[in-house]
Amino acid sequence: MNDNKIKCMYFDHRFTGKPQGKQCGWVQKSLTQTDITIENLADALCHGASFKPGVLVGGNKAENWYQQQLFGLDFDNGVMIEDTYNKVISLGITPCFMYTTFSHKEEHHKFRMIFCNDTVITDGNVRDRLQATLMGIIGGIDEVCFNRDRLFFGGKGKVVLHPDFEARINAESIIEKYWNDDFEQYISNAKPKSKKRNSPAASSKSKDKGDTNKEYQPYENLNVKAIKEHDVEYLRKVLAHEPIEFENKNEFWDYIYSELDIAELIDIDDPRSFCCVLHDDRNPSANIFTTQNGVQKYRCCSENLTLNIKQLIEMLGNFKSEYKAIQFIMDIYNLCRA
């Protein structure tokens, strides 16, 4: 019981409402690797704390994933708490606890279900398969919760639902019993990035041409292509941005200009110097810098252009109106204004 502590990324600040705008960035920066009992975690989440089930080392992104024992599922499409609980129990999979999120209502249930594996998982492929299997067999889950760097905010429910803190699942037996090739979609959807990924081992059975075809010679920046083609769906997957709501315009624009990462958006490895994505550039003439006010800017020296992220998207996407460009930004980054 005493050494029942589990590692996760955790931030103990107790929010009383869903974190908004800049608060989201603050949470991301404040999460630290923490050993905590499941009981304490459950109680903290019911009182507004935040956590990431995946343990990340050296950064906050999916590529920094190191190990994981806790698994979370996010339900917000109208399924009911009791029905969902009964379903997992009938499948022989027992969660450690459930809790309602900030936006939960009696007439529209929004909640999370947290599982604990019997061992710490250090193999990313096993982690992905388990997450995908849980999502696939239970259903009704927000797909964004697949990601290795997924952040879960707490809620204000105060009461832990269906606590069974000692309950453990076994990744191997769940995958063996329930894996279905259709679940592969969750994994491949979350694994975009036009860059060469560290190991192709992840997709032993991958049927996509994308992975195997290395003949794509002239390096094609898929993010830039997607902006040009207004491909919202692709960019939503690549950016995998947490949904954020803004209460007012200032907060909204502040976030867009200072928090959104231009280098990530246009998939640039070294923002200090790269070939401009706006013109045919053989010698790197572009860079990304941050002004004293904290605004990120895209700079092309050969065309003498300095653009903020909105202007860059307007230009790349050749949008007919500013309104359409803003709508596009909101769509790809999952942002909404109250």
Query: Which residues form the interface with Zn ion (CB under 5 A)?
Result: 276, 278-279, 300, 303
6 in Cβ contact with 116 (< 8 Å):
yes
How far is residue 154's CA from residue 26's CA, in Å, rounded to a whole number? 15
Residue 283 Cβ vs Zn ion, minimum distance, rounded to whole Å: 11
Concatenated DSSP letters for 151-164?
-EE--S--S-BS--
Sheet arrangement for strand 5-11: 32-37, 5-11, 50-52, 152-153
Q: Which is nearer to Zn ion, 16 or 304 (CB)?
A: 304
Q: Which is nearer to Zn ion, 137 or 278 (CB)?
A: 278
Residue 315 Cβ vs Zn ion, minimum distance, rounded to whole Å: 10
Q: Which is nearer to Zn ion, 238 or 286 (CB)?
A: 286
Beta-bridged to residue 8, according to DSSP, are 34
State both tokens at 171.
């990744």
Q: Which is nearer to Zn ion, 205 or 282 (CB)?
A: 282
Residue 301 Cβ vs Zn ion, minimum distance, rounded to whole Å: 8
Residue 288 Cβ vs Zn ion, minimum distance, rounded to whole Å: 13
Q: Which is nearer to Zn ion, 190 or 277 (CB)?
A: 277
Q: Which is nearer to Zn ion, 168 or 228 (CB)?
A: 228
Q: Among residues 83, 180, 65, which one has the least CA distance to residue 121?
A: 65
State both tokens at 147.
């990601």
Three-state DSSP at 49 gives coil
Residue 281 Cβ vs Zn ion, minimum distance, rounded to whole Å: 6
Q: Among residues 255, 335, 273, which one has the least CA distance to residue 23?
A: 255
Residue 287 Cβ vs Zn ion, minimum distance, rounded to whole Å: 11
135 in Cβ contact with 183 (< 8 Å):
yes
